[in-house]
A = this chain, B = another copy of it.
């Protein structure tokens, strides 16, 4: 049984608390948050406090607070625990206290409204001391079937890749949505295409899966489509089309 304390009350903290509470291999002993009312819903089940001085010793203490606050906050911790943060962009070295250090980064987009099943969410781990890795792996495996070891630089790059694969992809959906709305086309027509596009790259590389006017170097259609766009949508269309044109040329050389 691994004992865990969690600091924070945001999306990730909330989902982690729920996941650990239903795991048989983990005992969540305490949740700490500076605004106690945000965690008062837990009061019947676990010890809660708004005073970091009251932090109890656990096998692992998880700091699930905003990226910018991690460094300063970490200096205030005085504990015998392995202390981990949960950020994709912050280095392991940002943890500044006198304790064993690690990172516990679940890669997923989490909204409060959507249910999260941790089983399929990859958790990326890092530890300063190699012997802590098995403890952290055990903890991650208690809620997820997919654990990876990445160093701080790889994690930063993964986070950057996720900006393309998630944030930028979603902004493409936004453009498609806008084009549909302003032409009285039900957006639902695009839903099967969107899901097939995401599924396709399970078996094909994205390079192999590329289709469309730019991939076919169809300059007539590209010109016609540009003429239908303005402002940001035209800028996006032009930048991405030029990049696809270059990639396809490279692949055919």
Contact residues of A with B, CB < 8 Å? 67-68, 89, 107-109, 111, 113-114, 120-122, 124, 146, 148, 150, 153-154, 156-158, 160-177, 179-180, 183-186, 189-207, 209-215, 220-221, 224-225, 228-229, 232, 235-237, 239-240, 242-244, 246-247
Task: Determine which of B165, B177, B196 lies in contact with A172 in the assembled complex, contact meaning CB atoms within 8 Å.
Answer: B165
**In the A-B complex, the 5 residue pairs with the closest CB atoms:** A167-B212, A173-B206, A198-B198, A165-B176, A161-B176
Task: Determine which of B120, B171, B184, B225 lies in contact with A244 in the assembled complex, contact meaning CB atoms within 8 Å.
Answer: B171
Q: What is the minimal beta-carbon distance from A6 to any residue of chain B, in angstroms?
A: 22
Q: Which residues of B contact A246 (CB under 8 A)?
A: 232
Smallest CB-CB separation from A148: which chain B residue?
B189
Task: Give 15 new A-B contacts, CB below 8 A, not counting A164-B237, A165-B172, A235-B239.
Answer: A108-B196, A114-B203, A148-B186, A148-B189, A158-B190, A162-B190, A162-B193, A165-B194, A166-B211, A167-B211, A169-B173, A171-B240, A194-B201, A232-B246, A239-B239
Smallest CB-CB separation from A192: which chain B residue?
B120
Q: Which residues of B contact A214 (CB under 8 A)?
A: 167
Q: Which residues of B contact A120 (CB under 8 A)?
A: 192
A-B contact pairs, 29 of them (CB 8 A): A67-B221, A111-B200, A111-B209, A146-B192, A154-B183, A157-B228, A158-B179, A158-B180, A160-B225, A161-B179, A164-B175, A165-B193, A166-B193, A167-B213, A168-B236, A169-B169, A169-B194, A170-B206, A170-B210, A171-B244, A171-B247, A191-B201, A191-B202, A194-B198, A194-B201, A197-B198, A198-B198, A239-B239, A239-B240
**CA gap between A167 and B213 in the complex, in Å:** 9
- Check B232–A205 contact: CB distance below 8 A: no
- Check A213–B163 contact: CB distance below 8 A: yes
Q: What is the minimal beta-carbon distance from A91 to any residue of chain B, in angstroms?
A: 11
Q: Known A161-B179, A220-B68; judge A197-B170 contact (CB<8 A).
A: yes
- Check B184–A154 contact: CB distance below 8 A: yes
Smallest CB-CB separation from A153: which chain B residue?
B183
- Check B235–A236 contact: CB distance below 8 A: no
Q: Which residues of B contact A165 (CB under 8 A)?
A: 172-173, 176, 190, 193-194, 197
- Check A228–B177 contact: CB distance below 8 A: no
Q: Which residues of B contact A121 (CB under 8 A)?
A: 192
Q: What is the minimal beta-carbon distance from A97 to any residue of chain B, in angstroms?
A: 23
